[in-house]
Amino acid sequence: MQKIANVVIIGGGITGCAAAYELALRGVKDIVVIEKQYLSSGATGRCGAGVRQQWGTETNAILARDSVKRFESMNEELEYDRDIEFKQGGYLMVSYTEKEWEQYKKNVAVQHSLGIPTKMITPQEALEIVPHLNTKGLIGATFCHSDGHANPFHVVDAYYKAAARLGVKFETYTSVTGIKLEKGKVTGVKTSNGDIFAQTVINACGYAAGQICDMVGFKLPLYPQRHQALVTEPVEPCQDPMVISLHHRLYCQQTPHGSFVMGVGDPNEPKDFNIQSSWQFLEDVARQATTVLPLLKNLRVVRQWSGLYDMSPDANPILDEVPGAKGMWVAAGFSGHGFMVAPQTAVLLVQKILGQECFMPIERFSLDRFSGGKLDLESAVV
């Protein structure tokens, strides 16, 4: 293992790998990425892998809008020898309650102010986009044609290969056991395979980011929340867009290979690290999915799994230097949408670390926002 580094990145998911690439692209040498298992083994490899710009807060919408542009050209930019399978079939977000519809109107106003081409459409127009949609009780929907879906394993692989070509070292199956501090400054990382001396550390551990911050005595304001998903057998193409119903807590997408990936959120999930899948989830997702999309009732499930969201108090990311540990940065709290904003999250964080001009105000993602004042809550989390 390399014993001295300029930057150590903890976490081998999309955020960590993208940050490694962006640093190396800007000329930073001696970068080491540490992952306790294999790359994308955490939240990235367990996510639904949707990519949407339809958010309620300006910050999330900007990150998503600009990340979509990166996904569109990612195969070429990263010189990937495979395909990240980014399919822009759009996102159809359906509304079955007046309260929800009013919130959608506010969200679309934010999106339009940023140039995001979301449309507010009628139930009949929604039915034309997804012919098997249940329109009973449907008030309306929003649709953005440039939203889409990608292969999370291929995206991480693309970043890994591009970063490795630029000299980044990856240490997998390596656990972080401690952070070295001297007079409030980071001096290195203790791992299961030895110590690495470094003055800059990026904590990109997702739901485990709080455990890393605990090592320097800082309580990070986030908590883990289990979310479950399933994949079905492949069938003939019949649904281009991702369908989301916040009322039913449901998302459902047909992949380019024909299988459906879907999940439902549970607001009563305990705040713990449990990633065991449950029979109750299968019953819940089957009920909700066939209510919204009745055609899917005869699909056979291939497998189910679960992962953890790293939830922040306002469901917005945390991108900041850790108080009391100069040189240690955290990129976490993505609350279930870290994958879709990772390309530009990495750019923003790296710009801040290197003292470059940030493409948007990173202060909006600071830890200070939790110490007082009104939080800008994200309304569109499923």
pLDDT in tens, 356-379: 999 999 999 999 999 977 788 898
Mean pLDDT of 24-41: 98
Are 171 and 191 in contact, with CB atoms under 8 Å apart?
Answer: yes
Bridging pattern class, strands 185-191 and 242-245: unpaired
Contact partners, residue 373, CB within 8 Å, separation at least 6: none
Q: How far apart are CA 193 and CA 359, in angstroms?
A: 37
Q: How far apart are CA 90 and CA 144, in angstroms?
A: 5
Q: What is the pLDDT of residue 186?
A: 98
Beta bridge partners of 30: none
Query: Does pLDDT of 174 surpass 80?
Result: yes
**Residue 257 CB burial class (10 angstroms; 0-12, 13-18, ≥19):** exposed
Bridging pattern class, strands 242-245 and 250-254: antiparallel
pLDDT per residue as tens digits for the range 301-324: 999 999 999 999 999 999 999 999
User: What residue spans define the domains of the chain?
Assistant: 4-46+153-222+314-372, 88-147+223-310
Mean pLDDT of 196-201: 98
Mean pLDDT of 333-339: 96
CATH 3.30.9.10 fits 88-147+223-310, yes or no: yes
Q: What is the pLDDT of residue 374?
A: 75
pTM above the 0.85 mark? yes
pLDDT per residue as tens digits for the range 256-292: 999 999 999 988 899 999 999 999 999 999 999 999 9
Residue 44 parent element (H or E)? helix 43-46
- Tell the residue number behind the tokens 């923003």, with chain if given: 348
Query: Does pLDDT of 330 surpass 80?
Result: yes
Mean pLDDT of 223-249: 97
Are 53 and 118 in contact, with CB atoms under 8 Å apart?
Answer: yes
Name the CATH code of domain 4-46+153-222+314-372 (choices 3.40.50.620, 3.20.20.70, 3.50.50.60, 3.30.365.10). 3.50.50.60
Query: Does pLDDT of 380 surpass 90?
Result: no
